[in-house]
Amino acid sequence: MLAPERVVIVLVEPQDAVNVGAVLRVMLNFGLRQLRVVNPAAAALDPARLDDLAHRSQAIIAGLQVTSTLDEALADATYVVGATARPREEAPAAHTPRELAPIWIAQMQAGRLALVFGPESSGLTNAALDRCHVRLTIPTTPDYRSLNLAQAVLIVCYELWLAADDPAPTPTLTRPADAAALVTMFADWQQALTAIGFLKPGQAPVMMRRLRDLVQRAAPSAAEARLLHAIAREMLKFARRLT
């Protein structure tokens, strides 16, 4: 069965209450209760409109968290999924919700799953996708790839719901690193790699994106992330002693 306390829907910069209200309805359909909204337009969270658009969603609205940055919204998440309709340069291939849903169920055994959706007009930026362990794309005709925000949330939640009902056993995971720990770790790795001369001027964005993709695909445990972080800090200390 799905563990709703282990799933959070994250909407980045939503603009319209109609879309947010439709997302609330989807969450009610699939028993989800945690919604976080990053830097929304003022009209997107109009309480009267949301109540009209999604009846019986008062509990979700009451617990809704608004943050100014995506990092705040993801701080306690241990596995982050970003939805995108567009292919990206310097990025690993995206997978479908059906391919990923069983992995999500396994990840939820040890931590919190965050499903991240971008603004209605433009989708998630590359910087936002850098915060994700994996990217998902919902297959559509190449002539019209973009889905409405709530439609995308509906399809993803449906596949998660089906995977949760699958009787096949999922592996028990060690405690994974949360997003806040990874953000701090990658910041120190960038400093360390710059200090030893590995990152050349202008290379940092591309090289760090590749490093983040590599590490996040491995989904390190909290202990493994602490080890990697300690290595970066020692490298930085050593480089500073030489200057």
pLDDT in tens, the chain (243 residues): 688 899 999 999 999 999 999 999 999 999 999 999 999 999 999 988 898 888 889 999 999 999 999 999 999 999 999 999 876 665 566 799 999 999 999 889 889 999 999 998 888 998 999 999 999 999 998 888 888 999 999 999 999 999 998 755 555 557 788 999 999 999 999 999 999 999 988 888 889 988 988 888 888 888 888 999 999 999 988 888 887
pLDDT at 91: 56
Cα–Cα dist 26/79, whole Å = 21
Query: Between vectors from CA 90 to CA 145 and to CA 220, what angle results, nearest 5°?
Result: 100
CA distances for 57 relative to 14, 27, 120, 130, 145, angstroms: 18, 9, 22, 31, 30
Are 22 and 49 within 8 A, CB to CB? no
Global pTM reads 0.80
Sheet with 34-38, side-by-side order of all strands: 65-67, 34-38, 7-12, 113-117, 79-83, 134-136
The residue among 218, 36, 22, 216 whose CA lies nearest residue 115 is 36
Q: Yes or no: say if 5 and 33 are a contact pair by the CB < 8 Å rule.
A: yes
Token duo for residue 169: 């056993």
Whole-number pLDDT of residue 93: 67
Determine the pLDDT at residue 243: 74
